[in-house]
Chain A
């Protein structure tokens, strides 16, 4: 895609364990801030897409009470029950249809309301796995981690290294929930074991928060200051966890292939300057290195050890701290898009990486990263 749709504004709440405000007020906050950042009034929005989930909200039609807070009153509005990165896809397609010029995209949820990992068990096969009581989001991801580690020779120390890197990066991100400038491998490995090999600091903290992105057609974006262009998008959906290899993220690999073809990326490791990855658990970042083609298949651990993905490496991954710093269901992937756009614009403050022109942002939904979406973003 060449200058067809751009990000022209964005906003995020701080990510918190138990926000004082309701989801509606958090959405109102980011909607107003994103509009202000884009230099727009509510009246100028053509379409609004939100990402939220009836099951997590505990009420049907979870977007119903978001109509006013998201700026959608008497406008063309819809939602996705997936990550916000898919809400951005829906908005992108509406703009590409030619019928809409400006879209508001919002993702939100509050884990303090829905209670930890319990709803995740509803993603399990209802007739068998849910009855057995052995699987949940963490234990299923532990099976994924072990399958990957065994296939690619990855150690627990390398998983801990990923967590330590992201938590240290998060110390420079004022919006992060979990951050630790002094995190190291030993500290991560001494955090409590949840399900081997996953320890507490290798698991993303569930939290409350919202984020919003304003997308605009090329015509509108060209008149705005500092647009971040969507150069490509790709998405792919895999089988349920018992019917696929857990040792690789094959649907992310497929999504990346489609996205890179659209964006004209032939050698991701040299053409990309930064990646924001939606790693719900530390091992998923290493798996994503491979699926995104940042390194060869099976080389995720060694690639991490090379330091390439650290803040001072040639391709920093999760300069924001990633989802290990804050993982709001339905918003964390959209937040990766915002963080990547922020880096391209040079607006990332203390966690700014120098000279980011082209970046990749990843979102996922489903147990063991069943479906994946990626974007390539670029500046002028």
Chain B
């Protein structure tokens, strides 16, 4: 097995930029992102089972197509959480500032039925609990990007 660590290069490439995946969800998410500029949160409701998806999703487990835009609140409830240790492991790097745990919360916004993952700021790990109420922390001037939804704070 003496060749084990050798790499053999072959001329050529795999041009992923030529791939043109199709995601209906992109158009839906663009609408939700656009609304963020006005500090509005748009979820998508399923006509079949009534589930409200946030983020929006183009298909439902009941085989219906969610198509009703509903404005949801920027408050919600923590359904689960985790926080990081301060090291790297198996390719996963701790991206928080050294020594400061990053608190990741699963939240369900009021008026929605699906979980969104977000970073909790203004809190220490020992302050977090399942069931705690939170509010999204809007940036002063939302730019209509996913980053506008990056943080929430205890309510």
> Number of B residues whose C-beta is below 8 Å from A?
39
B90 at the interface (CB under 8 A from A): yes
Bound-state Cα–Cα, A135 to B89, Å: 14
> Which A136-173 residues sit within 8 Å CB-CB of chain B?
136, 138-139, 142-147, 150
Contact of B89 among A20, A147, A194, A243 (CB under 8 A): A194
Question: Do residues B80 and A246 form an inter-chain contact, with CB atoms below 8 A?
Answer: yes
Contact B125 A196 (CB under 8 A): yes
Cα A142 to Cα B85 in complex, Å, equals 12
Given A196-B82, A242-B116, A147 contacting B90 (CB threshold 8 A): no
Chain B residues lying within 8 Å of A206, measured Cβ to Cβ, are 90
Docked-complex contact A127 and B23, CB < 8 angstroms: yes
The answer, among B79, B101, B113, for a CB contact under 8 Å with A147, is: B79
Q: Does B42 touch A at the CB level, under 8 Å?
A: no
Looking at the assembled complex, report how far the CB atom of A312 sits from the nearest CB atom of chain B, in whole angstroms: 34
Q: Which residues in B have their C-beta under 8 angstroms from that of A134?
A: 104, 117-119
A117 to B89, CA, bound (A): 9
Q: Which of B25, B83, B89, B114 contacts A192 (CB 8 A)?
A: B89
Interface size class of A (residues with CB under 8 A): 35 or more
**Chain B residues closer than 8 Å to A126, beta-carbon distance:** 23
| Cα separation A143 to B78 with both chains bound (whole Å) | 11
B155 at interface by CB-CB < 8 Å: no
Question: A116-B91, A242-B115 are contacts. A150–B130 as well, Cβ < 8 Å?
Answer: yes
Decide: A127 near B26, CB < 8 A? Known: A116-B92, A144-B80, A146-B82. Answer: yes
Q: A225 an interface residue at 8 Å Cβ cutoff? A: no
List chain B residues, Cβ under 8 A from A194.
84-85, 89, 92
**CB pair B91 A118 closer than 8 Å:** yes
Whether A21 is near chain B, meaning CB under 8 Å from some CB there, is yes
Measured in the bound complex, the distance between the Cα atoms of B85 and A194 in whole Å is: 5
CA distance A321 to B129 in the complex (A): 32
Q: Mark B111-155, 1 if CB is under 8 A from A, else 0.
A: 001111111000001000111000000000000001000100000
Pull 11 A–B residue pairs with CB atoms less than 8 Å apart, ordered by A.
A21-B1, A127-B25, A128-B29, A143-B80, A144-B80, A147-B79, A150-B130, A192-B89, A242-B114, A243-B53, A243-B61
Which A residues have a C-beta under 8 Å from some C-beta of B? 20-21, 115-118, 126-129, 131-136, 138-139, 142-147, 150, 192-198, 200, 206, 239, 241-243, 246
